[in-house]
Structure 1
Amino acid sequence: MIDINGKSMLKKYGIKNVFLSADFFLLIIVSVIAFVIMLILPINNKLQLLKDYSQDSIAIDAGILAIVVGALAIITSLINERFLNLIQETDSYFDFVVPFYLSTLTWIASIIINFLLLVLYYFDSSKLPNYKMIVCIITSISIGLLISGLKGISDLVITSIGLGLYRNEVLSKNEKK
């Protein structure tokens, strides 16, 4: 059986590939842009925006989870024992699993950040030093994670389609032999 865990996946895929990927740069760029926009908004608008955004974003995150689980179900239904042995021989199973790991990690981080935003809304801003800056930073990270998570969904769709095509190609070559 294939041993798929985060440690072995990082050895093959490489942590460098995660942090130097287009997805990570997208997360940084969107977060910085959102941070600048949040600094420009007046504090009164920011508090209402914080509450509305965090509630809506939690609902979006639940939708992202449903899509991730659905895509994983599709991939699981495509893999049978014979195909699993073939992709294990070519050492290509990580290519299909990495997008699910990254999307799941993005989703988990986004849920945690958005719950933190919801909790921050109910705090008394006078009790927290630099409340405005904390709100700006957390909201901008949340927006970056949301956009990154939405891009991750498109990566999952591409991975699922790629796996189906790869499965047909490999199994048809194997049947010809």
Structure 2
Amino acid sequence: MTQLPHRITDITAAEIEHHIDDLCRVLMDSVADGAAISFMAQVTKTEAERFWLHDVRSAVETGSRRLFAAFVGGRLIGTVQLVIGMPPNQLHRAEISKMIVHPDGRRRGLGTALMNTALGAAKQTGKTLVTLDTRTGDVSEALYRGIGFQAAGQIPDFAYNPDGTRRHATTYMYRYL
């Protein structure tokens, strides 16, 4: 597929509410499409709003997390979070969380652009190691490998698939900056 013209922006805590409808749509549609991002199928708008407005916003407000969004034609279509608030013995490390691209925007360069932005931000804050986990065998695993992440190992039966029918393994990955 061809690349989508896009803009990547660092979303502030105050801006999360402004983009709440798009944030919820991206999350809900991605889970409905099978994305393994900690939510079960039929995630409600109330659950999605709680996640963005409480969990994510509070972490962005404290500076322990950054939220990046991909916009296509003025519409938010993807996000990635960079967890930078780490324990005292891990201040050199950051973690990627909830890399989500709406099903309509997948395989069009948005995931790579979001990840490269997050990795650049991690490097700017002095981080030298970035970690993440992903469903083993998921298309996202190939994306992460393509931008330099290496597998550290797998945990079987880590989480249920969004439809709740079976559990999947997760692969932990890392990349030095």
Decide which structure has greater helix share. Answer: 1
**Alignment TM-score, normalising by the size of structure 1:** 0.26
Decide which structure has greater strand share. Answer: 2
